[in-house]
Chains A and B, each alone.
Chain A
Amino acid sequence: MNSLLLAEVSGPAFPVLTAIVVLPLIGAALLTLLPRNRPDLLKQVAVLVSAAVGAMTIWVLVQFDTGSAAADFQFVDRQSWISSLGISWTLGVDGISLFLVVLTGILFPISIIAVNEKKDPKSYYAWILVLEAGCLGAFLALDLFAFFVAFEIVLVPMYFLIAKWGHGDRAYAATKFFIYTMLGSALMFVGILSLVFLTASATGGPITFDLQTLANSQALSTTTSRWIFLSFAAAFAVKVPLFPFHTWLPDAHTNAPTAGSVILAGVMLKLGTYGFLRFGIYLFPEAAVYFAPMLITLGVIGIVYGAIVATMQKDLKRLIAYSSIAHLGFIMIGIFALDTQGLEGGLLQMVNHGLSTGALFLLVGMIYERRHTREIAKLGGLQKSAPILAAAFMIVMLSSVGLPGLNGFVGEFLILLGSFAAHRWWAVVAATGVILAALYMLWAYQRVFHGPAEGDNATMPDLNAKEGLVLISLISMIVFLGVYPKPVLDRMEPAVDALISHVETNVPRFKEPTATHLATVKLGDLSALEGSASGEGSGN
């Protein structure tokens, strides 16, 4: 009786996930039909469409089964697409993608509401909606081909957003962004094709792009799957971006319009880390364990390096862009710690980074709108003229540096805990990123907001009601996740555990390095940590 009911719930008649992906596209199409000279109407339509999508993602969150199906893909919608090649339109959501989908659903309406674009609003809003469809498609796709299409589609609207509505050297930045990410994706495309065809030839089964089928077959030899993992890693490492593939990011961020920066940092960078989780580890568990030390090393370098370079920046937006590199490095070490704490911390930190960095870019955009500069040296004493803006900036900044009580701390601490179990020296180095983050963020805050206010800085208007509302919505989420992250973590955990046991099943030498596991090794012996560390240590 009960299971029957559950079966009905988990297979709803209405394909909500497809609707979530398609609705923004319909919205974009609708916008092209509207008159060009009605910016208010255009914006209202865009807000309405993105808000409707946001509402649907929240509906998915509310309806998400935390009971028996908690670890599975839910709301799965499977339609045949190009059946001769085994390509299908398969969407589904689990604890790993759930909050990224919700984050996307929330950040898009916020960034649309926050900025009034005057230059060609019609194509601007249309591109943003296409971008939303691409991001959601990438997070939801359970078919490699569908994923690849969505992963590539996001490049086009972002390219135009930067190139047309950006600042400064925008054409350079946009083209660099496009070509760099495209090069990575090209390698991944090679990888996808190899994986699909080699698996088909190895198993003798039909050709399929279905993620779960491929992940469960594990038919390729160790060497082959390591190579294919690297081709996927190339795409994701550029997207994250992982040191040393990061140089497109500061240019893209600095020159993008505010909404573009918010979405780029808040959502699009997570396509890389999400890709590592969903495709890298899930499809190639052995290769993920094999390359984990390397990726963690790059992550740790990113933390320290991003932080050091950030201290040098003269442009506020560029500084935040470099802080993103450091934060994403943190997420990477959490993910490749390959234990519950690390993975879940990394996942939570993706959401946290989306909220706090999104809010920071909004705030910088608000300052730029008022002062027409982002140069730190030209700002100063803004706390005098705009105390509410300063307070908002302070809270968001503290969340970004990992202050307890705000969201950043929970993610950071879980990551440190998880990575300590796996690679404790790297965890210690990563912990130094904590001071460096405080150094560059507070230093920037001091120069922008403290000190005497002179000239235009003294008369800068404070937040208006709309901006206040936008920021309050983000800050309330920041505080909520800092004080009570339990509901979020509870929903993530089954999927994360399933992923880890998937790795454990397929990689015999790998054992999850958790606290409970350590306890069974030997109570209280620190040297036991070394022996049980994941990856190279115990295995080959």
Chain B
Amino acid sequence: MNFLLLAAENATQLPLAVSNGTNWFLEHAWIVPLLPAVSFVIILFFGKRMPRKGAEVGVAAVALAFVFAVLTGVAWINHRDNYTPPAASESALVIDGGEIAPDQVVPAAEEAPTKGEVVTEGGGEAEQPTVAIHKSTTWLRNGGVAFDAGILVDGLSVLMLFMVTLVSLLVHIYSTDYVAGDRRYTHFFAFLSLFTAAMLFFVLSDNILQMIVGWELVGVCSFVLIGHWWEEKANSDAAMKAFITNRVGDIGLLVGVIILFFTAGNGSFDILTINSNIVSGGVSHTALIVAAMSLTAAVMSKSGQFVLHTWLPDAMAGPTPVSALIHAATMVVAGIYMVARLYPVFFEGMQIGGSSINLLAVVGAVTLVLAGLVAFVQSDIKKVLAYSTISQLGYMVMALGVGAWTAAIFHLFTHAFFKACLFLGAGSTSHAVHSFDMKKDMGGLRRWMPHTYLTFVVASLALAGIFPLAGFWSKDEILSGTGGWGLFGGTGGNGAYTFMLAMGILGAALTGAYMTRVIYLTFHGEFRGHGTPHESGRLILVPLYVLAGFALLAGLINLPVGFITGNNSSWQERFGHYVQPVAGYFPDIAQATPSYSLAIVSSFVAFAGIGYAFWYYFVKLDRLARATGESLTELPDGLVANSAVARAGHTLLVQKYYLDHLYTDIIVGTTKGVIARAANWTNQNVIDGAVNLAGRWSVKVGRFTYDRIDQPLVDGLANATGRASNSLGDGFRVVQTGKVQQYAALLFAAAALLGGALVVVLSL
């Protein structure tokens, strides 16, 4: 074991991390990913012979992992409030009910505040520094560089353990019913387990190399599961597209990691080393900006950000539980997690503090609006949700870009629940109507599927950010985190990101509107499909209710300061307190104070979006449908029908900004077509042509010189020019042996002569 006990650069009493002496669950967090990994192996080799075809192993392993994750979470809460390392205890820390007197510990992050005022909870009371748990072992050592494998347990990773295992468990349970009878049922569960293991492995990484490993492994699981029904070309294509688009981002990941290794890591991959080196200064800004931009490319592909997002809607070709788990709640947030984990790289590299624009914030802001717009023209319910996911991931990226770290992670957390709930709800409806097409095969489903309807509406309201559901709190925190709201009379934040605030508010209106459209098209109006729909079974509904419950309540764990409970800190910003590190490996970011006026404005905007869509669908369209007796999905005389501009915009959205054309037809098409063909032509005619020409010329020279001396030799060279006979038959070996030997003898003789000549010349 090779423990790293890292002292903060500016000499606080507390180390950044400890390796033991804390809690058993924190020190053994690696068991959490190990459980589903073992389950993968068991299902793969023995699954088919089991009574439930391996599903029972998957569910049990993930359930156990969830229990471990919860216990780890409890242990973390206790550790965060009460831990004092042995070294620091000598300086007589007074521990009193989890509160440390502020004058006795100087948190590393607050020693050298650079910009902005650090607003801590309870109005000025200093936060106790976070001491992470870090254990690592050497994987291999090469040229003085240690390649480690280990775990880094702090609030962020513990949160992810909880979220991933919970959603994965619910998806596992849901899948036992949803994919029952599938042709590759066992295979499906094996890869769900492997994915869960890989994702947990990723979030526990203590070094950036291990992060790459986890990052790629989740990508492969995603590839396999998107292509689960690979008999159809569309699914296989979608899987390919996902893998390849992610590979594009992987270049950025590889380059970024290598730059960090050489600069911030100073020859180490260790996350704590890299982060603390950056926080304490001394890493060149140029290196950090290049690294941050390279890593942003990786975020854009993995977390579906504009312009590398196009794989994500196509990935809906996979089974719905996969969409819920991988392409909504967990894998796609890997990019967000990576930024959060390596936040000093981005915070310092992109100079997030004190600025009003940077790449990350712009990518997020643009994505959240553009994806939200495309969601309006989709008729496939999963595609709407996919664009919605892209849009929400845009919120998270934007939040990280403006310095609202906690808000981003909080939104990641709440989004996982309501979006998984929406996806699983969409799966439940498709279970009933055997289609995902809202316009053709759905409508009026609330009559048959009241439970699915209820949970879907709750999750939609949470997504739309309606008070007091989960999305309201997290989205509002992002908006206030932009700091661009001087207009509304608030203070704090890291800069003046006014553009991001505007995009965020616009996004809120779009979200409410497209979800209203989905609810109408799916659950209201007349049923447009075939047969009689039915409500799904208990194994599907229980996960829906659990997730809806979280969508309803999860926001309450991070109530803003001063909300309802006055200044009683025990119920405020608990999430931020336990998750956001206060440590030498985390940058000195400024928290924004909440603003009631902003919350009211954004809620009003969200209601406006919902209200407009409601008026369009529930009032006008519904009235028209009743009048005509048809089940309509859009107004015949709407804006698109009447305005050329709107029609053009509509076409642009339907064509998804033509990005797929750009990639498939222009970039890939040119590479596979023109460029590859040109390269191949050059290969055959120029490079190989030169070889053959040389052969042919040798023949000519040979014929001229040796014509009467050695006829078979010339034939041998003629063979080299490519037109050899197929009728060599039995005599082949004898004849060929002769030729080759003669040729070899000639070459040797020539070489020896040349060598001798060279020796003579050079010796003179």
Contacts and interface: CB of A to CB of B under 8 A. Distances in A.
Q: Do A and B bind each other?
A: yes
Contact of A160 (B138, B283, B672, B733): B733
A461 to B, nearest CB: 19
A28 B744 CA distance: 22
A180 B691 CA distance: 8
B182 interface: no
Interface string B707-743: 0000000001101101111101000110010001001
Contact of B230 (A183, A428, A450, A529): A450
A198 B212 CA distance: 51
Nearest to A178: B740
A526 B286 contact: yes
Q: What band does the interface of chain B fall in when counting residues whose beta carbon is under 8 Å from A?
A: 35 or more
Contacts of A442: 240, 243-244
B284 A341 contact: no
B267 A404 contact: no
B664 to A, nearest CB: 13
B716 A175 contact: yes
Given A172-B724, A432-B251, A442-B243, A198 B213 contact: no
Tell which of A164, A186, A497 has the most Cβ of chain B within 10 Å: A186
B642 interface: no
Interface stretch (A31-39, A139-147, A306-314): A306-314
Nearest to A179: B720
Given A183-B747, A190-B755, A452-B231, A489 B262 contact: no
Given A247-B687, A417-B261, A169 B142 contact: no
A518 interface: yes
Interface stretch (B469-477, B556-564, B628-636, B756-764): B756-764
Contacts of B679: 305, 308-309, 312
A22 interface: no
A450 B277 CA distance: 48
A70 to B, nearest CB: 14
Contact of A194 (B672, B717, B758): B758
Interface in A115-155: 123
B143 interface: yes
A516 interface: yes
Nearest to A487: B140
Given A341-B143, A442-B243, A526 B255 contact: no
A29 B236 CA distance: 52
B263 A489 contact: no
Given A198-B763, A439-B244, A525-B287, A175 B264 contact: no
A540 interface: no
Contacts of A523: 266, 282-283
Interface in A368-401: 381, 383-384, 398
A438 interface: yes
B675 A182 contact: no
A171 B258 contact: no
A172 B236 contact: no
A426 interface: no
Given A182-B744, A194-B759, A309-B676, A435 B262 contact: no
Interface string A519-533: 100011111010000
B92 interface: no
B248 A171 contact: no
Given A189-B748, A435-B247, A516-B144, A309 B267 contact: no
Contact of B755 (A189, A384, A485): A189
A172 B748 contact: no
B530 interface: no
Contact of B251 (A434, A450, A490, A525): A434
A435 B142 contact: no
A459 to B, nearest CB: 16
Nearest to A451: B233
B459 interface: no
A361 to B, nearest CB: 21
Contacts of B254: 413, 416, 431, 434
B490 to A, nearest CB: 36
B302 to A, nearest CB: 14
Nearest to A348: B142
Interface string A326-341: 0000000000000111
B747 A182 contact: yes
B261 A515 contact: yes
A224 interface: yes
B691 A163 contact: no
Interface in A270-313: 305, 308-309, 311-312
A506 B724 CA distance: 50
A398 B194 CA distance: 16
Contacts of B144: 340, 514-516
A524 B140 contact: no
Nearest to B672: A311
Given A309-B680, A450-B233, A198 B762 contact: yes
Contacts of B143: 339-341, 344, 493, 497, 514-516
A427 to B, nearest CB: 7
B110 interface: no
B231 A451 contact: yes
A526 B142 contact: no
Contacts of B688: 247
Contacts of B676: 308-309, 311-312
Interface in B1-57: none
A437 to B, nearest CB: 8
Contact of B209 (A194, A413, A427): A413
Contact of B267 (A159, A183, A311, A519): A519
Contacts of A308: 671, 675-676, 679
Contacts of B736: 160, 163, 171
Contacts of B600: none
B30 to A, nearest CB: 15
B751 interface: yes
Tell which of B261, B675, B695, B758 has the most Cβ of chain A within 10 Å: B758
A305 B209 CA distance: 28
Contact of A446 (B139, B240, B747): B240
Given A193-B755, A432-B251, A186 B722 contact: no
A485 B240 contact: no
Interface in B101-158: 138-145
Nearest to B720: A175
A403 B255 contact: no
A364 interface: no
A328 to B, nearest CB: 16
Contacts of A201: 763
Interface in B667-714: 668, 671-672, 675-677, 679-680, 683, 687-688, 691, 695
Given A164-B733, A450-B230, 11 more contacts: A171-B725, A176-B691, A178-B743, A186-B750, A341-B143, A417-B261, A434-B250, A435-B251, A451-B230, A524-B264, A527-B284
What are the 6 closest A-B residue pairs judged by CB atoms, nearest first?
A340-B143, A193-B755, A515-B267, A171-B724, A526-B287, A404-B213
13 contacts: A175-B724, A176-B720, A183-B747, A186-B754, A308-B676, A309-B676, A340-B144, A431-B255, A434-B247, A435-B248, A442-B244, A450-B227, A524-B283
Interface of B: 138-145, 209, 212-213, 216-217, 220, 227, 230-233, 236-237, 240, 243-244, 247-248, 250-251, 254-255, 258-259, 261-264, 266-267, 277, 282-284, 286-287, 290, 668, 671-672, 675-677, 679-680, 683, 687-688, 691, 695, 716-717, 719-720, 722-726, 728, 732-733, 736, 740, 743-744, 747-748, 750-752, 754-756, 758-759, 762-763
Interface of A: 123, 156, 159-160, 163-164, 169, 171-172, 175-176, 178-180, 182-183, 186-187, 189-194, 197-198, 201, 224, 244, 246-248, 305, 308-309, 311-312, 339-341, 344, 381, 383-384, 398, 403-405, 409-410, 413-414, 416-417, 420-421, 427-428, 431-432, 434-435, 438-439, 442-443, 446, 449-452, 484-486, 489-490, 493, 497, 514-516, 518-519, 523-527, 529
